[in-house]
Amino acid sequence: MYIGVGSNLNEPVNQVQNAIEELAEIPDTMRVLVSTLVHSPPLGECAQPDYINAVVALVTQLAPESLLDILQRIESEHGRTRSGKRWDARTLDLDILVFGARRIATERLTVPHPHLHERSFVLGPLNELAPDLWITGLGAVRVLAQQIDFSELQPLTEYGHRKTIGAN
């Protein structure tokens, strides 16, 4: 399973790095891989700072909704407030991108994430970790990545090694 991590407020690099460490501490869960951190422009038309994003691969025994509860608690502990506005600036955003081959559509959770195939800041890091991953209903990450413009992503190489961002 894969989690998208993002922040654009209150020292976003630190927010993302701390959240990545906290993901490793979730009960019945093991952090397996962490992508390169990338710098990306915000979505939407609001004036706000750029984002720092990453993707983390986890193995968990938790049910999807239980994991979501923990992710939202971590967001709150990082000062995340939910204004109800789409694409608002945030201290931390944790999204379940993929949960195995499962499709989930509840009031609280949609998996695979409904927009992951449209977002360079998700597909670039996800392609770095798992280019052959099959996204239910969408196809292979490698193929999805070939359809995305990655020119706005800037890898933060000073925070770790970097593989290819974007299409392989």
Domain CATH number, residue 152: 3.30.70.560
pLDDT for position 106? 94
pLDDT for position 84? 61
What the block records as the tokens of 2 is 């894969």
Ordered per-residue pLDDT tens for the chain, 168 residues: 999 999 999 999 999 999 999 999 999 999 999 999 999 998 866 778 999 999 999 999 999 999 999 999 999 999 877 666 666 778 999 999 999 999 999 999 999 999 999 999 999 999 999 999 999 999 999 999 999 999 999 998 654 443 444 444
Instruction: Decide if 73 is inside a domain.
Output: yes
Instruction: Decide if 29 is inside a domain.
Output: yes
Instruction: Decide if 164 is inside a domain.
Output: no
**Dihedral angle computed from the Cα positions of residues 43, 74, 122 and 31, in that order, rounded to the nearest 10 degrees:** 170
pTM beyond 0.85: yes
* Nearest in space to 6 (alpha carbons), one of 106, 107, 102, 115: 115
Residue 122 phi/psi, 5-degree rounding, is -100, -50
Instruction: Decide if 93 is inside a domain.
Output: yes
Q: Which residues contact 93 (CB under 8 A, 6 or more apart)?
A: 4, 5, 6, 7, 75, 80
| Structural domain containing residue 99 | 2-157
Angle at 103 between CA 97 and CA 107, to 5 degrees: 80
According to DSSP, residue 129 is labeled H
Instruction: Decide if 163 is inside a domain.
Output: no
pLDDT for position 168? 41
Instruction: Decide if 168 is inside a domain.
Output: no
Q: Which residues carry out catalysis?
A: 80, 90, 93, 95
Instruction: Decide if 19 is inside a domain.
Output: yes
Domains in the chain, number: 1
Instruction: Decide if 106 is inside a domain.
Output: yes
Of how many residues is the chain composed? 168
